[in-house]
Amino acid sequence: MENRRAGCGIIFAAWIVNTIALFIVVKTIKGLNITATGMDGFWILFITAGVIGVLNAVVKPVLTLLTLPITVITLGLWILVLNAFMFALAGWIVPGFQVTSLIGAVIGSLLFSIISFTGSFFIGRE
């Protein structure tokens, strides 16, 4: 029972880190927007971070496998396009999160990954 609580706590902490990372990305990169402000904007960020997490866990591995030859030919740069596609898909799923630029999505997904990776070091692991 205690391990389950610890696992849920780690998942929730990672979700918060991803929400903060998404906030930083939306505020610094043109082409990614949140249409609401205040608490509504926070909830949109929170939900979008969760949707991006689910997409990266479920959809991205399937797309990575299906596009493996392209990934090999481009020496892995295709993964940047897949990450941008995950952002665009999240923008399509979550009302209030807009992706208006392909370059913004690529740079935003790269910055999001860097910030999330860095922030994950602060989450306690067993």
Predicted pLDDT at 68: 94
Q: pTM score, two decimals?
A: 0.86
Predicted pLDDT at 79: 92
Cβ atoms of 11 and 57 within 8 Å: the answer is no
Among residues 109, 125, 124, the alpha carbon closest in space to that of 52 is found at: 109
Among residues 4, 2, 18, 9, the alpha carbon closest in space to that of 119 is found at: 18
Predicted pLDDT at 3: 64
Please name the helix (run of DSSP H) or strand (run of DSSP E) that holds residue 116, with its range, or none.
Answer: helix 102-119
Predicted pLDDT at 75: 94
Predicted pLDDT at 12: 87
Q: How do residues 19-44 score in pLDDT, each as one tens digit?
A: 999 999 999 999 999 988 889 999 99
Q: How do residues 75-112 score in pLDDT, each as one tens digit?
A: 999 999 999 999 999 999 999 999 999 999 999 999 99
- CA-CA distance, 89 to 94, in Å (whole number)? 9
